[in-house]
Structure 1
């Protein structure tokens, strides 16, 4: 079973569960949804009995199976849903395939379970490459199966804007597509496919995705990354930029100097966008505002922006960036929404105390944020960036660099033992990131995420993996096969998953980490969050 339950005891008796069986009691809808392929029916009594225990946490449950059927006791709807997912994993792999008449043996067990971390996330970059709504819904189903509960959607970057705006329609009319896409590796001359790429979610799509996710105990966390990474926004509305100059939606990778103006019209623009997102998604407890990899050169060169910073009593553009992000966080707080940022925003200072920090540059930055009183979601490049190849083999398909193996993910500790108890208590959880510069389609998403996201799920739910993880994963792959997940095989890629013929040497994780260490070392001299 993945993720591993907190306690699992074998019982001698067993039973049989048939398609069309009856489930009764409280929270029945959650259990039926978790076992939707079995077409369970509600009733006054049945093979599966469900009841609520207010003494358990919302996501906690007890599951007992035996000769008398199945009993589920859950703290809340999420607990009942996760109990249903665990029950499903007790059944044969074939139970994950559609069947109109099936009967499955259920071994006798007693499970007592609750998650170690509240935030168990996956990030999907839909800006660099767009993935249609059907793929997002499928990913939500796979996350729910693994008890992952936060889907972080990176909705905008230099290479595209991915959501309808009725207030600013040029965003989806102009900024949602680019005429071509870079196909080169790092250290190669630029090359392009000359194929237009684009797409966006309507607000109705977003509402549907939000409701679909909530029904499966997943929260969508939308990201509007500002003030940098702004080429796509400025392609539609150049007046919102620091210079007013025209931009194109970027067709290559890397960091762009494009930056939004920090002036009041930009705050008004982004606040309106937030209102549209919040209104569409419904219950939206978190919005991510980015704050990473911001090139401040255009702000520093602008007399108007310099004068504006001085009028606010700010000392230079670094303070201005911190002030700008704080205005957005305050606006979100007024709407009952908590702000999430990448770690550069913490280093720049002035964060609201309730802002959540994602330390992508390493857990040293995360520890500093936790020590300053910020909640933290562990997101370090190594080992939680799943756009890195899983081995250094030349057979691996195009990736940003080499190599992050499933063993690296399985060994990760989101709340390191050498942190203080207070710092460890600030770790909300852990999240894997899939940036998609070199992930052009849904099949590659499967290959990059799975089974590394299985290890992530176990770390997030149980706090770490156990010695038997490899054996349990080998069995779990049969479930992924039944669901049609095109994961990376342990022996390496299938022939149709392999690289293109020419592959120069990629960027090694060690090189990336050396650069990140240098970045964070430089940041040590800056003031902490205020």
Structure 2
């Protein structure tokens, strides 16, 4: 091709861009011509190796030379996109070694050879978190309805930048031209991190948040209190961290806690990655650390230690004493002041009621409130706490035991962990549900029969394929009932998985889980996922993730 023809071709492209009223970015002809070579298209799509799998990937002719990108353009809504653009620049530098300037584009500026960010021109059906990623030979458009969508488009772009060998041919790297349209299937895509049984550092939590964001998860559930430790500073109740945050004695003393300022820092860090943090304050069971700090919270008032063993303990909070509710409200007021999330988890699981049967305070409460038994006494506690949380515009979440005893307030959210029966019952009653069946998504469970040899006998083997086969919506629900399934949440309980072992317990199963909550169920295929994981494992290694 002569220089004159090249010059005319470039001018025609620019003219098309300026006078095309539909395009907000790059010219779309002849680039949108789909290749007729089906084998070639299949190869391009498969070699994208994106996890979780996008809703739609349409290959188009051509490839983008990464070296041709010269800047990042914020096309509109600069106040909402500036921080994402800055992170995109950092991402580009990490993977290419080149620093790109971030510019706010003027209406008549040519966006060629740029990464263009825009909250205009995308499909309204993409919702809060969907996006379009349009890769052309002379630039890439990131389009969405909301900033979260642009952020998730950036995560997909990160994976496209990450080749099997991170250091090879960085200057000559190319990305196939694609049109990616994507959005999540569920609004709740969560991970529970148990910081109570084993304390986890703020740096580690931030690192976990980064890994979650990379896999398009959006809820971090922090399990902050349990029998073996109380991990959140409560200024009106200082003994909770002076006593309750520590177990053992002398050289065997173990523990730690987060100040409210540290938690606010973590919350802000997560918010910048479109992840909300849900605090869990266990009640009435799993409360030994609280009772060790304030013995009067139990039925007997007898001092007990913070537990050094795992299990379920008979000492639980006493709902017969009004002082117990005064304590809980003081604690929750401070928790609410720290955590802006509209949800607050109160546990509600594995609460023995033997002491309540012998407690004069509890029996008096049962008589005064016209309750039939101790099951209903726990429901009374749940209802009182739910009413208190509602007054602060918070929604209560509890494990599926909160269904027992009846009378659960309509706004309460049920997290089903003992299988999917709780999810079915709650959704049929009209409650919103988070699916977390232990046999599919508890990642402290062993991944192989070999790993199971070093785990307790009651832990079921939960393979990568078993996680991938999980469906958050149980069978047999009507369409109206299925709408109550907010999504799903995997969990890493730390009795047998302290911080140093979390990576190898989470990965690669977190990769399978993220696809179960993001990608359409009818698009999922185990063989296809396994093929994409071959490259994704290399990405994890390059990010210093100790995947199993």
Which of the five TM-score ranges fits, normalised by the shorter chain?
0.7 to 0.9
* CA deviation after TM superposition for structure 1 residue 92, in Å: 2.3
Residue 42 of structure 1 pairs with residue 102 of structure 2: yes
**Mapped partners of 2:252, 2:60: distance in 1:** 58
Match of 1:81 among 115, 129, 151: 151
Residue 257 of structure 1 pairs with residue 309 of structure 2: no
* CA deviation after TM superposition for structure 1 residue 415, in Å: 0.9
Residues 35, 387 of structure 1: alpha-carbon distance in 2 compared, 3 angstrom cutoff: farther
Aligned partner of residue 235 in structure 2, secondary structure: coil
Residue 342 of structure 1 pairs with residue 399 of structure 2: yes
* CA deviation after TM superposition for structure 1 residue 294, in Å: 0.5
Residue 91 of structure 1 pairs with residue 158 of structure 2: no
Partner of 2:243 in structure 1?
Answer: 174
Partner of 1:403 in structure 2?
Answer: 461
* CA deviation after TM superposition for structure 1 residue 394, in Å: 5.6
Partner of 2:304 in structure 1?
Answer: 247
Aligned partner of residue 65 in structure 1, secondary structure: strand
Gaps spanning 5+ residues in structure 1: where? Answer: 181-192, 489-530
**Mapped partners of 1:394, 1:308: distance in 2:** 48
Partner of 1:412 in structure 2?
Answer: 470
8 Å CA contact 1:35–1:85 kept in 2: the answer is no
Partner of 1:7 in structure 2?
Answer: 56
* CA deviation after TM superposition for structure 1 residue 405, in Å: 0.1
**Mapped partners of 2:246, 2:333: distance in 1:** 23
* CA deviation after TM superposition for structure 1 residue 299, in Å: 1.1
In the TM superposition, 1:280-291 aligns within 5 A as 280-281=338-339, 283-291=340-348
Partner of 1:363 in structure 2?
Answer: 420
In the TM superposition, 1:440-459 aligns within 5 A as 440-442=498-500, 444-459=501-516
Partner of 2:525 in structure 1?
Answer: 466
In the TM superposition, 1:184-199 aligns within 5 A as 195-199=252-256
Deviations 1:159-203 (A, max 9, x none): 0001111110111111101117xxxxxxxxxxxx97322011110
**Mapped partners of 2:71, 2:392: distance in 1:** 44
8 Å CA contact 1:20–1:38 kept in 2: the answer is no
* CA deviation after TM superposition for structure 1 residue 20, in Å: 7.4
Residue 21 of structure 1 pairs with residue 71 of structure 2: yes
Partner of 2:131 in structure 1?
Answer: 61
**Mapped partners of 2:415, 2:88: distance in 1:** 30
**Mapped partners of 2:272, 2:453: distance in 1:** 36
Match of 2:275 among 196, 218, 221: 218
Deviations 1:46-90 (A, max 9, x none): 511111148241101111011120101111011110011111111
Match of 1:327 among 361, 384, 390: 384
* CA deviation after TM superposition for structure 1 residue 388, in Å: 0.8
Gaps spanning 5+ residues in structure 2: where? Answer: 1-49, 94-99, 106-110
Residues 22, 266 of structure 1: alpha-carbon distance in 2 compared, 3 angstrom cutoff: same
8 Å CA contact 2:89–2:101 kept in 1: the answer is no
**Mapped partners of 2:91, 2:147: distance in 1:** 19
Partner of 2:328 in structure 1?
Answer: 270
Deviations 1:430-460 (A, max 9, x none): 1111111011233x10000001010000001
* CA deviation after TM superposition for structure 1 residue 240, in Å: 1.3
Residue 133 of structure 1 pairs with residue 191 of structure 2: no
Partner of 1:155 in structure 2?
Answer: 224
Match of 2:212 among 137, 143, 151: 143
TM-score by length of 2: 0.82
8 Å CA contact 2:74–2:85 kept in 1: the answer is no
**Mapped partners of 2:494, 2:439: distance in 1:** 17
**Mapped partners of 1:477, 1:31: distance in 2:** 27
Residues 394, 276 of structure 1: alpha-carbon distance in 2 compared, 3 angstrom cutoff: closer
Aligned partner of residue 279 in structure 2, secondary structure: strand
TM-score by length of 1: 0.85
**Mapped partners of 1:102, 1:327: distance in 2:** 62
**Mapped partners of 1:275, 1:446: distance in 2:** 33
**Mapped partners of 2:479, 2:377: distance in 1:** 34
**Mapped partners of 2:188, 2:389: distance in 1:** 20
Aligned partner of residue 117 in structure 2, secondary structure: strand
In the TM superposition, 1:306-325 aligns within 5 A as 306-325=363-382
Q: Which moved more, 1:265-274 or 1:329-338?
A: 265-274
Please, what is the CA RMSD of the aligned residues? 2.2
8 Å CA contact 2:193–2:220 kept in 1: the answer is yes
8 Å CA contact 1:137–1:209 kept in 2: the answer is yes
Partner of 2:47 in structure 1?
Answer: none
Partner of 2:37 in structure 1?
Answer: none
**Mapped partners of 2:254, 2:57: distance in 1:** 48
Residue 487 of structure 1 pairs with residue 547 of structure 2: yes
* CA deviation after TM superposition for structure 1 residue 422, in Å: 1.9
Deviations 1:16-73 (A, max 9, x none): 3359732322324224435633255320345111111482411011110111201011
* CA deviation after TM superposition for structure 1 residue 103, in Å: 6.9
Residues 128, 7 of structure 1: alpha-carbon distance in 2 compared, 3 angstrom cutoff: same
Q: Which moved more, 1:156-165 or 1:302-311?
A: 302-311
8 Å CA contact 2:285–2:316 kept in 1: the answer is yes
**Mapped partners of 2:299, 2:70: distance in 1:** 61
Aligned partner of residue 449 in structure 2, secondary structure: coil
**Mapped partners of 2:381, 2:451: distance in 1:** 45
